[in-house]
Structure 1
Amino acid sequence: MFLKSLEIFGFKSFADRVRIEFSPGISALLGPNGCGKSNIVDAIKWVVGEQSAKSLRAESMEDIIFNGTENRRPLSVAEVSITLANDGEVLPLDVPEIEIKRRLYRSGENEYFINGKQARLKEVRELFWDTGVGKSAYSVLEQGRIDQILSSKPEDRRYLFEEAAGITKHKVRAREAEQKLAKTEENMRQIESIVAEVKRSYENLKSQADKTIKYRSLKEKIFETELDLYLVRLRQHVRERDRNSALFDQKKKEREELVQRIERMSEAMSQGLDLVNELEAKLVEMQKLLYGLAVEKNGKEKQKILLAERVRELKAKIEQLEGRDRAIASKIESLRDEEGEKEAEYAGYRARVREVDANIHTFDENINAAALSVKANEETIRQNASESAEIAQKTSQLRQELDAITERIAELVDERLRQSESQIEARQDLEAQIRRAILEISASTAARAQRLEDLAKTLPAMNAQERAQQIDTISADLRALSLLSKSLEQDFTRYIAIAPTFLNELVAPEGVMTQKRRIDAAILAHAVRLKEIEAENQALSSRNGDLSRKIETYRKTLEEARLEKAKIQAQMEAAQDALSVLRREIAGQEAYRHEIASELAGEQKRQQELQEEIESLEEELAEIEQKGRRLSEEMAELEASISQRTSDLAERRKESSELEQKMQALQQELENLHMAVAQSETEIRNLKDTFTELYSRDLLSFESRMYEIRKPISEIREELTSIKATLAALGSVNLMAPEEFEEVKQRYDFLSGQYEDLVHARTDLVRITDEIRTESAQLFIDTYNRIKKNFHNMFRRLFGGGRAELRLLDTDHVLESGIEIYAQPPGKKLENISLLSGGERSLTAIALLFATYMVKPSPFCFLDEIDAALDEGNIIRFVNLLREFGTASQFIVITHNKKTVAGADTLLGVTMEESGVTKAIAIRVQNDNGVVRPVYLPDEPFQEEEVEYEDGRQLDDQAKSANAPA
């Protein structure tokens, strides 16, 4: 299984739909800071089920939807989909290719899809169980998560080991079994309390049935009396409401007439006020014009002074520019001499690189020759691994069948209990009928036996006719007894048909319990075979150990040669950079000299233009003075007209104030009447609602009776008090006492049977939970020991010595125990990882990651700038590890390091040509005679070009400047 493609739309900075195709092996994801590289990692985490916005570097989940830029509108949806190749059927779906999609709307609604079909989050998570892929798995390792792995609490590091051990699904199933067990125990406690309560009810119900008839009669009288009381009160409120409504309509007409008078007065005042406002606005405009002219005059005078000062400055600047031009000409000549020296130094470094390349080629041939001896054993190990995978897959299928059978047992028990509960009354009726028939047959049989005895004594004294009559009578009785027996047989057959027999279904030869035992035996056989394969693989690995150490010696020598080559290349790059700097400086100085010449001509022209502007300003100042005198005369005439019209408006305001006071008084009366009507309506509505709440009946259905009541309300209340006193004297009454007594007996028998069934179910659930925890602990311990050994070896390889340890904090409870990490770099003491440097911490995290991959590799892995804190030598070790594990897993590395880029098979570029919008390009490295052909993604313009490389991997200066990600 590997990641084939990633499609993103509307997620963070991906405003357009972008599809990124991935290849097996190692891919390097490149781009400048802030262009959206880490958004790709966030998209992978999000699509496989991440629910924490903080883990996605957002405040809320809505923040991950593209929020727009200066030139683009925000989007309303974010969508990410990944396509996975499932050739090895690592994922439990019988299809060669699987697409997982997640969609989020701004409303907060989430949607998940598996191969185009809508799914639940639980189904997506279950799909990736124990594969190393998921929101909490080790398929994504970011620079920030290095500190999380190494600095978090020991209990929080368990997820790496649990995912590698493949016990994630076991933990979930164990939690589900524990929840079912807790629910079963809770049901048992409830049934115990119910049985005790039913028993007490059984003993108390006999004495409660006598009061029922009298109680119901009194309750009916109370209802009739309270109904009369409610109807009298309703009649009072209805009459009060009608009286206030009529008075309200009268006052409302008076208010409308007064409003019309006020509106006419307001219209006249508004016209006069508009005219005054218009004159005042005109006066203000004139004042603004006059003030503007004064400001303009001051500005022109200041501008004239500034222009004169600018002319003097230009003269001085022209003299400075002429001096700079002479100095730059001398500097350009000196730089050209230095350029020749740097070109000779660069040629020498190129010759040394070719010599080191020849040595590296020799060591590569030695390593390949030694590796041929290892291949035979590795092939056997691979075959064993294939068999182990097949057995593991079969075991997984068997465990799924086991889970399904366990669930079927619980469902069967629940279903049969429900059926028994529904049929208990019919079963009890049949049982009573059968008992009566048995008693009747028994009594009838005894009576006929007595008759036969009497007949035997009197038979000699009877004549033939009497004997025949007696025989016929006995024959008829026996036939009746035979019919009664047949009826009993039919009743018994019906009783057997509805009797609970589901325990037979469980323990039958082909029942679910038999199927479960058969699957348990198959799982045990698979476990034995896996241990045999593991022992054989360990023996083969030991035989390969000696050969691996010899290869390691060659590789160390080869690393030293590559380090020397890298050092020379760095010096060569420095010389090339210095040469490029010199050339850019020469070009810059020449361009600067040209700029000075252009600037000198421009300043001379500007000096002439400034002189002309000064003459134009003097003419404008004279014209402004003349406009100011005319405006002052017009403003004096306008102020006199405004004063006269303001006096007329004051008299109209006084008359309008008197009308407003009358209006307020009338409005107050209307409000009081409206409140009275509303209060009556509220009282009527409250009476209806209260009556409905008490009796669940509509008071208006008795409206015809409201006007027939002649009793005063005091007499009705006295009558109600008397009836309630009689009812209170009865005490508590159980209206259904006889019926409840029979129901309680039946319920007690049924609950006792249910309790026994729950006891059996609890026993099974406890056993299943113990089995799951035992198996999970064994898987975890095996995986932990293998990772512990691999971690020590990987640490020594990355650090060139030293040692590293993993320790369980609580060996008695391995499923809850934290895991502590200790590291001892060469030359230091064994210490907790919190005391290591940044580079040492990164190497330790990388060692732990690849130690986990040696036990159970993830199909694909995203590494986000985890090499940022590593030096050049450690980078080379890191790249070598990636190449080794790249055959089993797919690595996508986000990096800025040239050595890491050089080790990649595919280069993925991320750019931000438009501000705030991420785009992507891909370059597949095809080292054919030193030529690389870039292949761009479908949504980018395709350009085919050939770029020459020294080693087939590094981009030249021209490509670096053309594509920022490269």
Structure 2
Amino acid sequence: MFLKSLDIFGFKSFADKTHISFSNGITALLGPNGCGKSNVVDAMKWVLAESKSKNLRAEKMEDVIFAGTANRPALNVAEVALTIMNENGLLPLEDPEIEIKRRLYRSGESQYFINGRQVGPSEIRKLFMDTGVGKAAYSVMEQGKIDQILSSKPEDRRYLFEEAAGISRSKAECAEAERELEKTRQNITQIEISLAEIKRSYDTLKIQAEKTTKYRKVKEELFNIQLNIQLLKLKGFIETKARNESSIKEVEEKRDKVRKEIEEINNSLTENTDLVNSLQEQVYVCQNELTQIQSMKNGKLELQKQQKNRLAEIRDKIAQLEAKQATIQNKIDDLTEEVGEAQSGLHEKTKYLEDIKKNIESFQQSIEAASSQITQNDTEANEKRMQIEELDNARAQLQKDLTAITEDIVTMLDAKLKDAGYSEGAMNTAKSQLEETLGKLRVFVEGRKNIFADAAKTGNRPNENLTQQAADAFAEAHNMVQLLEKALTSYINASPAFISEFLAPEGIITKKREIDAKIESNLKLISEYNQIIKDLNASNVTLAMKIDEYKDTLSKQRQNEVAVGEQLKSAQEKITILQRNIRSEEINLKTNEDEVYTENKRLEDTQDQIDEIQEELAEIEKRGAETVDRQNNLYKQIDECNNKVSGKQNDLQKKQELQKKFQSQYEQLSISMGSLDTEIRNVKQNFLDQYSRDLMEYEEQMYKITTPVAKLKEDLAAAKQNLESLGHNINLMAPEEFTEVKDRYERQEANYKDTKRTLEDLERVSQEIKAKSSDMFLDTYNKIKKNFHNMFRRLFNGGHAELRLEDPENILTTGIDILAQPPGKKLESIALLSGGEKTMTAIALLFATYQVRPSPFCLLDEIDAALDDKNVSSFVTALRSFANMSQYIVITHNRKTVMGASTMLGVTMEESGISKIIALRLDDDIEKIKAEVIKEDDNFIEEDVEPEQGVVLPQRPAPRIKDNTKEQIQESEENPQESQDNQSSETPAEDQQKQEEE
């Protein structure tokens, strides 16, 4: 795997699209402090899905987007693309070239891509697991990572060994398995809770179902007993009817026989026979009619009894329906009240939602207003920048004028001096003579002044001696004044006389000063415009902060809007459910009212039938009384006729009495038959009313019953007692509900067992992963331990170093101690070593890790900062030995490290705050020069001379470096600008073109 290129746009100081191509071997990344070298490291970490802003030296992730400069506006997006060659298939993708891209907007939206396919950050992290590459792997090694390796916490060093052992992916899988385990445990807990709830319902319904089953069994038994009793009762009535029919037939035969005998007697009677016979026939008719009337009366009485019983049942049912109606009405009232409360809450939430929408609209307007103001500020700032550009152009012209007038001043000055015969030596000599004469005169005058001052203080009169001294002093002062005049004349003659022309108001110096004033005014105006732009940018920053605050509040308001919307939806659903329940209860109420109406109608019909039966009974009794009266009259007439008969009267009377007896028996049997028919109908009707079944469906069973009625009645009493013992709170739907709950319980129990098996499988898989990871970690640890000792001795030219596990029993969590013994020292903890020794020890560990699992590419950020020349040489030598197995990008300020590189990348800030990349591939001549310089360690002088605005690298190799190579390289490095000027006179555009061609 090979790091091909890095494309950066809008990330930190890389405001412009920047393409960095990487070469094999070692690439040195150079540049002064603050030029943006570490931003390249941050860009690589960021594109590899770094999620912590503090690891990118930022407070929040949006800070990595280019924030703008005094001359550049801020960008709204940052994008970094990393292209990797995957010809060896180290990454689990079939593509030979893989592009990893990350994009971030100021809104906070973040996007990740693999070869143009949008993915999540976890997929990028998983892609590089166990390769040594990643935001937390050892492919990016910074000074902070060195500190982490050397940290006093041994557990902080584990990540190197885990990545080298290739268990990062297994560790992630193990963590995922642990999360799945925890999730499965939570699911089991929830299932157990649900199972316990279902179990309670299961147990309750099981008891209720058993009770209901028993109830149904007792009811069935009670039904069968009552069925048998009714069948036996019906059977008794039928058998009694059959016997009565036989008796009627027998009595009828006897009566007919007696009637024939009476007829014979009557035939023997000569008188009144026809009349008696006629009367007798009428009596028979009356007797039959009375029998029918009695039968009708019994039937009507029984029917009246049934109707009264039915009337009582209907009234009981009406009472139950009215109670149920009251219950339903109460429930409807309660539901209506709940609907009212819910609608009130819905109204409040609707009003609250409207307020939220108004707030959202207000914040949106504020954001739009602030954005509009930012746009206006940007427009004004751009206008000021254009004005500054015009002022810059004007100042450039003034600078040209200034340069021209300065050259004119120099030219004129040379010409005037030449014409005047000006000599700087003569002028200096005249000036020295003038100063010397003035000094002597000053000393002489001060001395004489003191003498005469002292004489004046004594108050003595001037004597001849003092007067002579005064005369001599003035004479000497006169000579000195003459000398002074001569010296002044010599100085004036030595000074150029044309200076007054230069200083005149219309002179060239005045013109230069006017240009200087204009330039100063131009710069002042530019400063004012820059201040205005700065103020506008500050205003934009404040507005942007307000916009962010508005957006945060707007986001919260929208979240509230969604939440309140959900609450409204829930409230509406609740109201809908309540209204549905009300409609259902209203339907039940309507059904109940219909049933009440039906039962009332039945009650009225039954009452009308009872009234009708009573009227019919009254009519029947009236007809019966009339028939009895007619029969008695007939008997009287017959008696009167018989009294007239003289012979055979006694026999006839006896026969008549016997006939009456048989007739009475016949009537009683006929009445009994009518009663039996009524009883049979009643038994059938009662059974039909009570069980809604036809009793004759069980006619065949009627003749198979062997149990006596007494025993059935005992069984019936026992069954009723059993039914009474079960109580009245019987859930008739319990068996069906129990069946449903049982199915749920069994399904949930099966789910629980499956989840339990899944938990066991996950625990087993987790243990297997841990066991495999432990073996891989221990094997890698032992290899790194051996390599670390050898690499330590190689870097330190001796000594001893070892690794120790803090807790060998817990391989996957143990920390790792580092013990180091540089040559001439005791074995001690790394915390007691010097800064350079610590760094070299960490480098030894890093290279020991590379020997086990080399990272395809590695970025080293100033890890040589704490090393001296000797250690840097050792580090570079070791680094070059590993360059054939990995690709290295080294950020450094050390010349020896730079000399170990085959390619140099320069980071510069030609424009303040904007980083740019300059690439240079070193040729074979410079490689030889570097080799010679590295060998001359004793004479090598380390200097950190850095230009202020960025490193200036040669745009192409300097072919004229042939002899005195070391001195020329040092001179070029100490004076980079001068070296560049000497090497090339092309314009910056031509330089850039040549650089691109190279």
TM-score class, shorter: 0.3 to 0.5
- TM-score under structure 2 normalisation? 0.45
- TM-score under structure 1 normalisation? 0.47
